[in-house]
A and B are shown apart, each in its own frame.
Chain A
């Protein structure tokens, strides 16, 4: 079986101090009586991009939301098992969830800038974490917008509403907003699904450039995108009455060109899903 996917040559990417950033051990997640994740175990390396792929409803987003405990906001959600960030169990009751979310930022599927100015959007996080000084804030805002490759487009309209920007710009604004709190991990939940191809490419370039300093985990429906940007990939699926099964996890190049599991191969060659 010849698999024709545009897989970049990942071997040329520098393998940097790939320590384990996030460790997931035997995790089960329930929404009430519904089990959304089943016995998930995987290690996510630092300073790289990990893609989670799989059909709709298989639990990709639920898995992503484990890492910053966003599932906590859903009434009836309950996680079992162990998840560690740099060796610290994050589901410990002594963990300050706000502090965890500062270290593990998140970009959502639909761009969701606040109904405030561009400046205030980016300054929101730093302000909540104690930066008061106006010039210091301005510095953080400029730096974050630069990092998100948005500065040149918005530098003259920092006072304008963030909602007045285009969809792609809004999503980069959301990325800048996350970068402004200087997280270590960035979770991206289908960040390009509401964007056109040009904006998608911009975000992907941005992700690659951020991957040198940040651990990025991206959920995507778009397998080309997973192949283009990620270093490691996880394939999840659901069986008729069971959601949230992790089928295969490994280097992207291997997962896409030489999958070990028949189900992975079927999915990426488009036989189902």
Chain B
């Protein structure tokens, strides 16, 4: 029986071949590299297509590849409850733009995850209604999980000796 992860990628390529840049299914992890500007189209297809049915966004995170262009990679993990399958979508975001469309209209679970990525990496999610910091405080400057954030840097909210 053919792996559904590969099937999903095939369906994705068939429907949105212009948005998908690259795919692989190494070790059973179906992964597609897509054009960041098409993320909403891809997510809508994954959710609504009767052959795909990825009705759950389980994880949304980001990687800072500081020496590469484009620099940031936003990583989405979708899960199909109906079919018990997963697919991973990656989208590259350039440092000077640093923006990608929000999935909050399709997946409400994107709310806090997008806020966390904004908080830690500074990637803006266009269309998010309330893009505030999630874990850090509002006065914090910068985005600490960026590779160029100095790890010794101190930003005291309270206390004289931090």
The reply to whether chain A is a binding partner of chain B is no
Chain B residues in the interface with A (C-beta under 8 A): none
Chain A residues in the interface with B (C-beta under 8 A): none
